Amino acid sequence: MKKQEILKKMEGYALTEFGKTLEECTSKEKYIALSKAVMEEIVPTWINSKQKFEGKKQAYYLSAEFLMGRALTNNLINSKLKSEVEDLLNEINVDYNVIEEAEEDAGLGNGGLGRLAACFLDSGATLDLPLTGYGLRYEFGIFKQSFKDGFQDEDGDNWLQHGDPWSIRKESDSVTVSFADGDVLAVPYDTPIIGYGQNTINTLRLWKSEALNNFDFEEFNNQNYHQSVKEKNDAETISKCLYPNDSNDEGKKLRLKQQYFFVSASLQDLVRKHKEKYSSFDNFSALHSIQLNDTHPAVAIPELMRILTKNEGISWNKAWDIVVKSFAYTNHTLLAEALEQWPVHLYQSLLPTIYEIIVKIDAQLKEELKEKGIKEEELYEYEIISGDCIKMAWLSIYGTSSTNGVAELHTNLLIESELTKWYNLFPKRFNNKTNGITQRRWLLQSNPELAGYITKLLGSDKWITDLTELKKLEKFADDKEALEDFVNIKQTKKDQLADYIEEHEGIKIDRNSIFDIQIKRLHEYKRQLLKAFYILDLYYRLKEQPGFDIHPRTFIFGAKAAPGYFRAKGIIKYINEIAKLINNDKDINGKIKVVFVENYRVSYAEKLFPAADVSEQISTAGKEASGTGNMKFMLNGAPTIGTYDGANVEIVAEAGEENNFIFGLRVEDIEKIKDSYDPKEECEKVKGLKRVVDTLVDGTFTDGDTGMFAELYDSIFKGASWHRPDQYFLMKDFDSYRQAQQEVDEAYKDKVAWARKCWMNMSNAGKFSSDRTIQQYADEIWKIEKA
């Protein structure tokens, strides 16, 4: 694609979209013009990709979240057009970085689940595999976060305010989705997923909800103006916002509508396309492998049964065979409260036909269990409908041919404890698929300096599509020149992050300090509060011992708390109170600083991961299914301080425990002490801990009379109706964590040895590419092949 062609197309879009010359356009308008020019270039390949997979088995990834982030740079890199476009913009005096910053993040996800889905799509296209994503086109993504007096404040994330140049509305593929209270139209928007090298371009199809009739003229004519657009407003609410607050029935009803809406639309889409080519459903499962990304799309199981039995007239038994062979399920959690359940009355009132089918599936399961020798009094342990709840995880296991965990430890725990009874029923269905990340975004794009250096040392860029090539870097682990170059690159990334933080947060940080970073969703089990307690303890020790020698440390947090998650929002406020105390205390002479970045998102993450000196992965052992942030830090050469949890276990196995800092209880330790554990006793025997925890209630900090801090305090020492005291063992792990942090400080003083630890992590990150994960899905679950 010649530069002049790009320029000509950009000028054309500037005129037709904005009625301006390209020079007159704003940065955002130039971004849109450039994106549309690139789209014009890639669409023919996109069409060809669809054609080359016709007639072959394809995989379909159903996910409530796709946390894609920005598209421009990723698409240019994967299309191998980035240098050409940068040269062009430079020639017309346009700063590429300004254009890049003009793009809104496509924040259609809440955290790791959605970002994993995005990485998987990237890998599918890069590996030349037929993988299509299906989800919801939320008008408002994950909220925009700001802090007001230390409290999280949420505002709408109107990412579509200026349109989306990367998606194409496919109105001719619209389908009708029916609820008990009315029908809505599902309109698909297709986004290209460009594989590296642009050999294959797959599709992410997101559904927007619209009214069948947008305007009631008769109501309008009768001056009932609100009523005249009620159907339009009600319908569009379904795809209005990612994860509406579901603390009451109205919120739950909307969430259920979202789940069924995108699942029904997606399955209708697949069935329609199948019927266009085949007169029978005998080969449906031979051509379709449908992955349920957690239980959000689990209603797909009864929905496909509905379509096959009621719409297509297929017998129940034959339809069930098709369903089980077509679907596979990924479990993402060990948290009992996160194993999704739905009140029966919501299904009965909103999806009565689907509920009837679930009742029949549940009855069928019980009959099968009896045939397998399960006693009548034990059936309740397997019931899909239990009391007033529908257990979506049970439905997902029973209605699919595969259930996979997302890290070796996670899968083992599923098999050995959480889902043992199900494993005994269907042992061949259970398998592990350790998560991964795409190195195209998380190294090539976000850390071009290190990416270029890796290519130089290896003499090849093969690692971009085969991350195991990084293992060859081990031979440079004791090469002082290579380590020095690595340290210089890390400092460059730290400088860039420091500039960005100063510009966006108004906080100046010590560029030579240890950048200790914890960035992830705010949840109690991820234990941001443990880190907060440690920071405050360190502050008090520095105050008491002016000669206390530590390397300066900048503690960086990035996280959003779900709007209805009171306790998580209390933790944010608490950390911000600690930051205010420490950052304004001249006595400690800047030895430590605390920064909680606002509105953490994919584009911010791309700056944080490469700059990190320390990766904080401190969840309670057995609670983090996998984690993928840990992999992104590792890939960019940051050692992990963490528990033996999730993918941390495999990271340590690859890079060596001597190159990381593992602390705390392990799963087996927790099992031994959980029934006798007394957090108050533990707190009092650990030096300095009580003083720190008491700041939640002794007036040191203010929570604005919200009761947040007292509630946090009580959660540790009293528990609540739904959990025991200190359910995440902060008091028990505190001293071990403090010791590990001291080890970090000591290790960092030896610059060469520290650089070697970083190097060994980066060199051994090859296993954690999502390319490897997706190839395993393709070979072992989906049974799909390259074109």
| 307 shares a domain with 245 | yes
Give the residue carrying structure tokens 């070796």: 408
Q: Give the C-alpha separation, 137 to 115, whole Å.
A: 15
Report helix, strand or coil for 133. strand
The per-residue pLDDT for 233 is 86
Sign for the pseudo-dihedral over CA of 670, 674, 679, 683: negative
Instruction: Calculate the CA 109 to chain-centre distance.
Output: 6
Annotated catalytic residue 674: no
Phi, psi of 599, rounded to the nearest 5 degrees: 55, 55
| 135 shares a domain with 232 | yes
Q: Is residue 577 part of a domain?
A: yes
Distances in Å between the Cα of 369 and the Cα atoms of 383, 396, 437, 441, 513 are 10, 16, 39, 46, 60
**CB-based contact 631:765 (threshold 8 Å):** yes
| Per-position DSSP letters for 519-567, written without gaps between them | ES---GGGTHHHHHHHHHHHHHHHHH-TT-----EEEEEE----TT-HH
What are the mean pLDDT values of the chain's consecutive 10-residue runs (787 residues total)? 88 97 97 97 96 97 97 97 95 96 94 95 98 97 96 96 96 98 97 95 98 75 72 90 86 96 98 97 98 98 98 98 98 82 97 98 97 94 96 98 97 95 97 98 98 98 98 98 98 98 97 98 98 98 92 98 95 98 93 98 98 98 96 98 97 98 98 96 97 98 98 98 97 98 98 98 98 98 95
Q: Is residue 712 part of a domain?
A: no
Closest Cα partner for 75 from 100, 102, 48, 44? 100
Q: Give the C-alpha separation, 297 to 64, whole Å.
A: 7
Q: Is residue 159 part of a domain?
A: yes
> By CB neighbour count within 10 A (0-12 exposed, 13-18 middle, 19+ buried), where does 354 fall?
buried
Annotated catalytic residue 332: yes
| 324 shares a domain with 420 | yes
| 264 shares a domain with 151 | yes
| 389 shares a domain with 508 | no
CATH code at position 521: 3.40.50.2000
The per-residue pLDDT for 664 is 98
Domain count, the chain: 2
| 545 shares a domain with 666 | yes
| 491 shares a domain with 431 | no
Q: Is residue 684 part of a domain?
A: no
Q: How many residues does the chain have?
A: 787
- The encoded tokens of residue 61 equal 């990834």
| 521 shares a domain with 405 | no
Domain that holds residue 164: 53-70+105-435+775-782
- The encoded tokens of residue 172 equal 């001719």
Q: Which of 28, 523, 593, 632 is catalytic?
A: 632
Q: Which helix (H) or strand (E) holds 391?
A: strand 389-391
Q: Is residue 707 part of a domain?
A: no
At residue 534's C-alpha, the angle toward residues 532 and 537, to 5°, is: 110
Q: Is residue 97 part of a domain?
A: no
Q: Is residue 124 part of a domain?
A: yes
State how beta strands 403-405 and 614-617 pair. unpaired
Largest separation between any pair of C-alpha atoms in the chain: 82
Annotated catalytic residue 521: yes
Q: Which of 36, 205, 255, 526 is catalytic?
A: 526
The per-residue pLDDT for 335 is 76
The per-residue pLDDT for 215 is 65
Q: Give the C-alpha separation, 126 to 134, whole Å.
A: 18
32 CB-near residues (< 8 Å, 6+ apart): 13, 17, 162, 163, 165
Q: Which of 520, 569, 591, 757 is catalytic?
A: 520
Q: Which of 200, 309, 333, 628 is catalytic?
A: 628
Q: Is residue 133 part of a domain?
A: yes
Q: Give the C-alpha separation, 755 to 777, whole Å.
A: 35
Q: Give the C-alpha separation, 176 to 476, whole Å.
A: 59
State how beta strands 288-293 and 201-210 pair. unpaired
Phi, psi of 409, rounded to the nearest 5 degrees: -65, -45
- The encoded tokens of residue 729 equal 């063992």
> By CB neighbour count within 10 A (0-12 exposed, 13-18 middle, 19+ buried), where does 157 fall?
buried
| 207 shares a domain with 110 | yes
**CB-based contact 629:653 (threshold 8 Å):** no
| 739 shares a domain with 640 | yes
Annotated catalytic residue 632: yes
- The encoded tokens of residue 377 equal 């009094």
| 528 shares a domain with 416 | no
Q: Give the C-alpha separation, 761 to 664, whole Å.
A: 21
Q: Which of 288, 332, 569, 607 is catalytic?
A: 332
- The encoded tokens of residue 349 equal 């009132």
| 412 shares a domain with 520 | no
